Amino acid sequence: MKRIPLTCYCILLWVPFAQAEMSVVGDSPDDGTLPYFYVTGAQMSERTQPDRAMHADLSTFTDEAWLLPISSSRLSTGPITPRTLNMPGLQPFFLVGGDPQSLTWLRQHAAGLREMGAAGLAVEVADTEALLRIRAAAPGLTILPVNGNEIAIRLQIEHYPVLITATALEQ
C-alpha cells in the first residue's frame, strides 16, 4: 500500500475552505471596477423596461460587404400560408430578399412596418448593390443581411417575404 504524504492530506482538508466568494461587479462603493462604469457611461441603477422596445445602435457598422453574399438554402421567394403564433414579447420582424417580389412587398408595406417598429432581415442578398436596393425600397427601416435558415427551421417556413409578429405569421 502506498503512503500518501502528510502534505496531500492537509491540502485535501483545506479544499472546502478555498472556495471563492461570489460578488456582483459594481455592487459596493469600494469596488475596483467602479471607475469603468463612469468611463463607459453605464448607469448601474438603470433597469431596462420590458414593455419598451430596445433597438441596437447599428450606426457603428460602416461596411457590411464582408458579410455578403448571403444565401438561405431553406428559404425561397413564394407565397406563405398565414397562421397564428403565440410568442409573447417577440418584437416584429420581417424576412425579405433582393428579388422583385420582395422589393414590391417592401414598398407596399414600408409605412406599416415602420409604424410597428419592425426590423428587417435580408435572407437572400447577392452583393452590396442588392442590399442597397432592398434598403431603398423601405427607407427608415433597419434591414440587416443574415442567413435565415435557423429562423426557417424554428418557424417552419419555406418562403419570403414574410412578417413575423408575436401573434401572427403573414405575408
First to last CA, the chain: 76
75 neighbors 124 (Cβ within 8 angstroms): yes
Q: What is the pLDDT of residues 37-91, one digit of tens each?
A: 554 444 545 544 445 555 555 545 556 777 889 999 999 999 999 999 999 999 9
Q: Which pLDDT belongs to residue 4?
A: 62
Residues 137, 64: Cα–Cα separation, whole Å: 18
pLDDT mean across residues, the chain = 80
Mean pLDDT of 18-42: 56
Residues 75, 161: Cα–Cα separation, whole Å: 10
130 neighbors 70 (Cβ within 8 angstroms): no
Q: What is the pLDDT of residues 110-120, one digit of tens each?
A: 999 999 999 99
CATH class of the domain at 63-170: alpha beta
Of the candidate ranges 7-21, 112-126, 128-142, the one whose mean pLDDT is the lowest:
7-21
Angle between helices 128-137 and 100-116 (to 10 degrees): 50
22 has a pLDDT exceeding 70: no
**CA nearest 142: which of 75, 94, 85, 71?**
94
Domain boundaries, the chain: 63-170
Of the candidate ranges 6-15, 75-84, 144-153, the one whose mean pLDDT is the lowest:
6-15
Mean pLDDT of 142-149: 94
11 has a pLDDT exceeding 50: yes
Q: Which pLDDT belongs to residue 40?
A: 47
Residues 48, 52: Cα–Cα separation, whole Å: 8
